């Protein structure tokens, strides 16, 4: 059972100031890891520092040019301690019918969920490869990468792309002992989904598609992330673990 411990490991969780990211960061901390988090805002960073007791960092994945300098700065701030775990949790969505999607909405979703996530992950992996150290990457995907969901054409495209990216990176980076996996939740009750789940008629429609009969809570997801991040999953890479209450089993 000691393989489920994260004692002595260092983790970085993007979007750790609220919702699922906050829950993930807290769970990894409880399992013994030293956890750092990012937010797009100074207020979010202050929340992370209050919650975790570690330094928080401003990072906006839409600004791809800021990613490499951030990784260099973050690595320097660890003062010789290596990063062991990267959790790519930060993401955005702007629900809209495909006929109504704007260029701005498309760019925001793709740049954050796919482009920014890729370049952050690559920058971290480059440091690991250069130092000859191993690492574990856990992407937060979605059931939307496996099934179509109305008003989420762009979001589904990015999460499906993330599943494929996970496979390719796992293959390419396995010789460097870098594991890459994805956790793909169903709808989880957070600030991110509040508008959708409270919309008249819409929440009931979505709930009817989940065989277990309930939406997820952040605590339902953290176990899968912690498992894939740790040594207990040492032979697992390139996998997308659906935590969806059976949504995709239909």
Query: What mean pLDDT do residues 57-74 have?
Result: 97
Q: Are 51 and 189 in contact (CB under 8 A)?
A: no
CA distance 169 to 146: 19
| Residue 20 maps to a domain | yes
| Residue 193 maps to a domain | no
Query: What mean pLDDT do residues 142-155 have?
Result: 97
Per-residue pLDDT at 248:
97
Query: What mean pLDDT do residues 11-34 have?
Result: 98
DSSP 83: P
Confidence band, pLDDT 50/70/90 cuts, at residue 191:
confident
Q: Which helix (H) or strand (E) holds 57?
A: strand 56-58
Per-residue pLDDT at 3:
83
| Residue 212 maps to a domain | no
Per-residue pLDDT at 105:
98
Query: What mean pLDDT do residues 72-96 have?
Result: 94
Confidence band, pLDDT 50/70/90 cuts, at residue 192:
confident
Distance of CA 65 to the CA centre of its chain: 20
| Residue 100 maps to a domain | yes
Any residues with CB less than 8 A from the CB of 90 and at least 6 apart, and which? Answer: 14, 15, 21, 38, 40, 59, 61, 112, 116, 117
Per-residue pLDDT at 79:
84
Per-residue pLDDT at 1:
58
| Residue 195 maps to a domain | no
Per-residue pLDDT at 210:
97
| Residue 191 maps to a domain | no
Query: What mean pLDDT do residues 160-188 have?
Result: 98
Per-residue pLDDT at 93:
96
Number of helices (H) and strands (E), helices first, in the chain? 9, 7
Tell me which residues are annotated as active site: 155
| Residue 248 maps to a domain | no
Any residues with CB less than 8 A from the CB of 159 and at least 6 apart, and which? Answer: 113, 141, 142, 144, 145, 184
CATH of the domain at 74: 3.40.50.720
Query: What mean pLDDT do residues 167-172 have?
Result: 98
pLDDT higher than 90, residue 20: yes
List pLDDT tens digits, range 98-147.
999 999 999 999 999 999 999 999 999 999 999 999 999 999 999 999 99
Of 58, 60, 64, 4, the C-alpha closest to 36 is 58
Per-residue pLDDT at 2:
67
Strand bridging mode 10-13 / 85-88: parallel
* Mean pLDDT, all residues of the chain: 96
Domain ranges, residue 31: 2-186+221-242
Q: Angle, to 10 degrees, between the axis of helix 103-110 and the axis of helix 153-173? A: 30
For residue 51 the two structure tokens come to: 């919650």
CA distance 38 to 65: 16
pLDDT higher than 90, residue 246: yes
Confidence band, pLDDT 50/70/90 cuts, at residue 156:
very high
Number of folded domains that form the chain: 1
3-state secondary structure 2-56: HHHCCCCCEEEECCCCCHHHHHHHHHHHHCCCEEEEEECCHHHHHHHHHHHCCCE
For residue 223 the two structure tokens come to: 């176990």
Exposure letters 157-176 (e unless 16+ CB within 10 A, then b): bbbbbbbebbbebbeebeee
| Residue 213 maps to a domain | no
pLDDT higher than 70, residue 82: yes
């Amino acid at each position: 059972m000691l393989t489920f411990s994260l004692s002595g490991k260092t983790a970085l969780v993007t979007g750790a100031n609220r919702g699922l990211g906050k829950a993930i960061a807290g769970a990894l901390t409880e399992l013994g890891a030293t956890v750092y988090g990012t937010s797009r805002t100074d207020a979010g960073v202050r929340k992370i520092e209050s919650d975790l007791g570690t330094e928080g960092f401003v990072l906006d994945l839409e600004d791809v040019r800021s990613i490499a300098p951030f990784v260099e700065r973050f690595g320097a701030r660890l003062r010789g301690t290596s990063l062991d775990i990267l959790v790519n949790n930060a993401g955005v969505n702007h629900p809209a019918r495909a006929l109504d999607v704007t260029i701005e909405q498309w760019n925001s979703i793709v740049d954050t969920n796919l482009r920014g996530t890729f370049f952050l992950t690559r920058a971290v992996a480059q440091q690991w490869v250069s130092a000859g150290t191993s690492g574990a990457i856990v992407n937060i995907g979605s059931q939307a990468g496996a099934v179509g969901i109305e008003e989420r054409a762009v979001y589904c495209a990015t999460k499906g792309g993330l599943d494929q990216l996970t496979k390719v990176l796992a293959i390419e980076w396995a010789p460097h002992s870098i594991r890459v996996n994805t956790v793909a939740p169903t709808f989880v009750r957070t600030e991110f989904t509040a508008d959708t789940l409270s919309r008249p008629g819409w929440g009931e429609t979505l709930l009817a598609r989940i065989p277990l009969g309930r939406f997820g809570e952040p605590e339902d997801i953290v176990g899968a992330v912690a498992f894939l991040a740790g040594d207990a999953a040492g032979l697992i890479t390139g996998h997308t673990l659906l935590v969806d209450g059976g949504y995709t089993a239909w």
